[in-house]
């Protein structure tokens, strides 16, 4: 049981010689746009979140955006450069990792190869000292009794369905089984908070899906707050109660999977969440009329809904050029609409993924195959596409913020 609060948390990695050198040919070297100050590289800043007890939070974002750094600061493996971390109301900035009542699972399972699965899971309990008050009123730190260790190891093994492997060594296990042992070793201590850093990324696609389902089940069985890091948006969407989308050390949006999917705060979130990626149409004319707003995309004008118009009016948006976003599943083909030509047609079983060339732009449409003949959409076929006004997202061309 634990509530985890981060207040204005910041991490600066001091400049090292090699980093300073790198800065010079930045244009080639730098993939991220992390802020660089005199102190060093700012890997995380303005990080604010209140994680509720037993909540499952997922940190997601591209490589180098600061996910692991944030997790490691919560674990105490990385010093917090600024701001405050609270676990269950207690400030933890300077508390040693072992005293934070946290367990962490990494991408590489880091099991002890010479120990059996049982010994691997039991290991943290053997190290753990528990406070016990004697008859004389004095408190002593004692080892956990062996029968208690045994009970806990078997319970964790049961939860993770690895009881049959308890006597094996890790080398005789598959990747997914090893990862379960690593999780077992983490949960056996009943930590307040379970931190997981890309725990599934070493597994192949099928195993990853299986383990994802295991983790969903696991959280129902144990009373722990989860903070989970991944760069895979599908994992984030399926596991998280709330998702934290990060970029260049900053939080972009915090919300439920539905919220971030339906109302991405900005262009980055819109492009990051959802696969295939949202289509963006730049330089679309948004026009304020007496009755509401209209939007012109590639020469086709649509009328926005009353709700959308009300939001734009409330925000004082005048006629201007905007970036429109439409998800591939929301693009429909029909008799009328924007003319385009099929460039690539990918049949994915129940769906057809079409890359359409329209005005020199690639537009992706995902069409259910149930009621169409996929062969009718071969390369170079001329089509017309459109979308429902209520499914369009509008972004400010400069700030990239969502306007509605």
Ligand X SMILES: Nc1ncnc2c1ncn2[C@@H]1O[C@H](COP(=O)(O)OP(=O)(O)OP(=O)(O)O)[C@@H](O)[C@H]1O
Among 10, 32, 54, 351, binds ligand X (CB under 6 A): 32
Among 12, 51, 60, 66, binds ligand X (CB under 6 A): 66
Based on the shown chain and the rule CB under 6 A, indicate whether residue 22 belongs to the binding site for ligand X.
no
Based on the shown chain and the rule CB under 5 A, indicate whether residue 107 belongs to the binding site for Mg ion.
no
User: Which part of the chain contacts ligand X (CB under 6 A), choosing from 50-58, 64-72, 184-192, 350-358?
Assistant: 64-72
Based on the shown chain and the rule CB under 6 A, indicate whether residue 43 belongs to the binding site for ligand X.
yes
Closest approach, Cβ 107 to Mg ion, in A, equals 8
Among 37, 63, 258, 371, binds ligand X (CB under 6 A): 63
Among 7, 10, 13, 311, binds ligand X (CB under 6 A): 13
Closest approach, Cβ 198 to Mg ion, in A, equals 6
Give the CA dihedral 257, 259, 265, 269, nearest 10 degrees.
20
User: Which part of the chain contacts ligand X (CB under 6 A), choosing from 65-73, 272-280, 328-336, 357-365?
Assistant: 65-73
Based on the shown chain and the rule CB under 5 A, indicate whether residue 70 belongs to the binding site for Mg ion.
no
Among 68, 107, 225, 252, binds Mg ion (CB under 5 A): 68
Instruction: For Mg ion, give the closer residue by CB, 24 or 31.
Output: 31
Closest approach, Cβ 245 to Mg ion, in A, equals 15
In the region spanning residues 84 to 143, those forming contacts with ligand X, defined by CB under 6 A, are: none
Among 49, 64, 121, 185, binds ligand X (CB under 6 A): 64
Instruction: For Mg ion, give the closer residue by CB, 43 or 173.
Output: 43
Closest approach, Cβ 243 to Mg ion, in A, equals 16
**Using CB under 6 A as the criterion, what x/- string covers residues 224-253 for binding ligand X?**
-------x----------------------
Based on the shown chain and the rule CB under 6 A, indicate whether residue 69 belongs to the binding site for ligand X.
yes
Closest approach, Cβ 41 to ligand X, in A, equals 5
Closest approach, Cβ 51 to ligand X, in A, equals 18
Of 360, 388, 400, 362, the closest CA to residue 303 belongs to 388
For binding to ligand X (CB under 6 A), which residues are involved? 13, 32, 34, 41, 43, 61, 63-69, 231
For binding to Mg ion (CB under 5 A), which residues are involved? 68
């Amino acid at each position: 049981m634990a509530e985890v609060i981060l207040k204005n948390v910041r991490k600066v990695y001091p400049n090292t010689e090699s980093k300073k050198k790198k800065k010079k040919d930045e244009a080639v070297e730098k993939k991220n746009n992390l802020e660089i100050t005199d102190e060093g590289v700012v890997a995380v800043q303005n990080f604010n979140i209140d994680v509720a007890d037993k909540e499952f939070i997922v940190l997601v974002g591209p490589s180098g955006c600061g996910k692991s750094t944030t997790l490691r600061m919560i674990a105490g493996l990385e010093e917090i450069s600024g701001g405050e971390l609270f676990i269950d109301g207690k400030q933890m900035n300077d508390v040693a990792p072992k005293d934070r009542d946290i367990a962490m699972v990494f991408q590489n399972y880091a099991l002890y190869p010479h120990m059996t699965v049982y010994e691997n899971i039991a290991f943290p309990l053997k190290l753990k000292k528990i406070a016990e008050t004697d008859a004389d009123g004095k408190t002593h730190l004692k080892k956990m009794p062996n029968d208690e260790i045994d009970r806990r190891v078997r319970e964790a093994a049961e939860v993770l369905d690895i009881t049959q492997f308890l006597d094996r060594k890790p080398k005789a296990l598959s990747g997914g089984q090893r990862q379960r042992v690593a999780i077992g070793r983490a949960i056996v201590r009943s930590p307040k908070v379970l931190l997981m850093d890309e725990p599934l990324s070493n597994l192949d696609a099928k195993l990853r899906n299986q383990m994802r389902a295991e983790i969903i089940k696991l959280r129902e069985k144990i009373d722990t707050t989860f903070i989970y890091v991944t760069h895979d948006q599908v994992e984030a969407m399926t596991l998280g109660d709330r998702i934290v989308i990060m970029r260049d050390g900053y939080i972009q949006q915090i919300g439920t999977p539905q919220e971030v999917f339906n109302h991405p705060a900005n262009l980055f979130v819109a492009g990051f969440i959802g696969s295939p990626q949202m289509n963006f149409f730049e330089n679309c004319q948004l026009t304020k009329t007496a009755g509401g707003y209209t939007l012109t995309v590639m020469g086709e004008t649509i009328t926005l809904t009353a709700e959308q118009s009300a939001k734009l009016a409330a925000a004082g948006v005048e006629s201007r050029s905007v970036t429109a976003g439409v998800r591939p599943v929301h693009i429909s083909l029909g008799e009328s609409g924007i003319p385009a030509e099929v460039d690539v047609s990918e049949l994915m079983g129940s769906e057809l993924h079409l890359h359409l060339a329209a005005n020199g732009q690639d537009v992706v449409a995902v069409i259910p195959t149930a009621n169409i003949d996929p062969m009718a959409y071969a390369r170079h076929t001329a089509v017309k596409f459109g979308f429902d006004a209520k499914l369009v997202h509008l972004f400010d061309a400069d700030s990239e913020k969502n306007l509605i």
